[in-house]
Amino acid sequence: MMAEQRETLLARARIARGLTQVELAKRAGISRQALGAIESGVYQPSVTVALGLARALGESVEKLFGGESAAARQDVNVSFTGNERGSAISPQPRVALGRVSGKLVAVEQPAAHLALTPSAGIVRHATRHRAKISTFMSQEEIDSTLLIAGCDPAAAILANWLARKRSPVCPVVVQCSSTRALAAVVEGRVHAAGVHLRDPKSGEYNLTQIKRSLGRRRAIVVNFAGWELGLATAAGNPRKIRSAADLGQPGLRIVNREAGSGARLALDEGLAEFGLHAGQIVGYQRELAGHLEVAAAVAAGQADAGITIRVAAQVYGLGFIPIREERYDLVIPVQEFESVVVEAMLDALNAQRFAREIADFCLYDTGKMGQVVAHLN
């Protein structure tokens, strides 16, 4: 991007918000002289400075500074034989791409599957609050591990993105409910927590519960994406389910999420709206750990419906009845915000191509991805 364009974008964003160079520089933690040099194109900001300016202005790094190409996805012709075991579960098969003997090939992959989890170590001895771990990881590898608590299956795409960019940072997801994710942040066990918790009184997402959980702890809330939450049904919806009101049908079975999850809270609100209670719903007490697990149980015929997000239903070829749109945010303690691992994650969230990947593959709304939702002091 030309220096004149960069100056216009950054300066225009600052002026549009009524900020002087002194004010913006202070918010971004740099000198006014440095900001002037950046706006004039004399100085190319580091990733840390660029992120600081983007956060202060509520914009993405990509929009302010350009960077990598924002080209749309491309179509390529490849050698492809499909899955030898039969047609894919998904109506739009997903593939891995590579070049073998000079030929571009595509190998069909399941959209979701069980896998052996890579481990950093094994517990050799543990007391209540301490443990001795046997590990083959170096200190550098441990320091490059990003720990995220939450229920978003798109974390796998974040890991793939960072690997493709040859980033040393490796995300590890602690699969849990939004409530447990917040507890993990409070206890200092993760760098970030993903939450989708709607306040039933105000209808506002996340901030009410985050403030209640964090107390006086300082944190920054960053948007990841918006998604649709609803009921996954067997393909073709043979039980003709239209809303939570139909979950009381005789013989209909569901699978549920654990207490404290955003999905469980949404289901409870839906049942209450139609005058139903847990005791009337077969399978209400069967709790599964994540959105993909719920969809897998429905696909396997273990239940007729389950509360989950659209992408989980889609990858298993299920029907989906939307209940509501939700905002999924990341809660990051202030002391972790400028750590190497968190900066790598924020850099990805501010990359337009990453946002497009998430939007395409996960059916999420990524229009506000990477934007700061709130500074909590």
User: How does residue 95 score in pLDDT terms, banded at 50, 70 and 90?
Assistant: confident
Q: Is the pLDDT of residue 87 over 50?
A: no
More confident residue, 5 or 102: 102
User: How does residue 71 score in pLDDT terms, banded at 50, 70 and 90?
Assistant: very low
Q: What is the pLDDT of residues 281-340, one digit of tens each?
A: 999 999 999 999 999 999 999 999 999 999 999 999 999 999 999 999 999 999 999 899
Q: Averaged over 45-70, what is the pLDDT?
A: 72
Strands (E), the chain: 94-100, 103-109, 121-126, 131-135, 145-150, 170-175, 192-195, 219-233, 254-257, 287-288, 305-309, 319-333, 372-376
Q: Is the pLDDT of residue 63 over 80?
A: no
Domains detected in the chain: 3-65 (1.10.260.40), 78-110 (no CATH), 138-377 (3.40.190.290)
Is residue 134 helix, strand or coil? strand
DSSP H/E element including 142: helix 139-143
User: How does residue 104 score in pLDDT terms, banded at 50, 70 and 90?
Assistant: confident
CA atoms within 13 A on the CB side of 141: 7
Q: Averaged over 73-82, what is the pLDDT?
A: 72
pLDDT of 90 reads: 52
Q: Hey, what amino acid is at 220?
A: I
Q: Say if CB 214 and CB 186 are below 8 A apart.
A: yes
Q: Which of 309, 368, 329, 342 is nearest to 210 (CA)?
A: 329
Give the C-alpha separation, 306 to 177, whole Å: 16
* Percentage with pLDDT > 70 across the chain: 89
Q: DSSP label at 198?
A: B
pTM for this one? Answer: 0.77
Q: Is the pLDDT of residue 120 over 70?
A: yes
Q: Kindly report the average pLDDT of the chain as a whole number.
A: 87
Q: What is the pLDDT of residues 145-199, one digit of tens each?
A: 999 999 999 998 999 999 999 999 999 999 999 999 999 999 999 999 999 999 9
pLDDT of 111 reads: 73
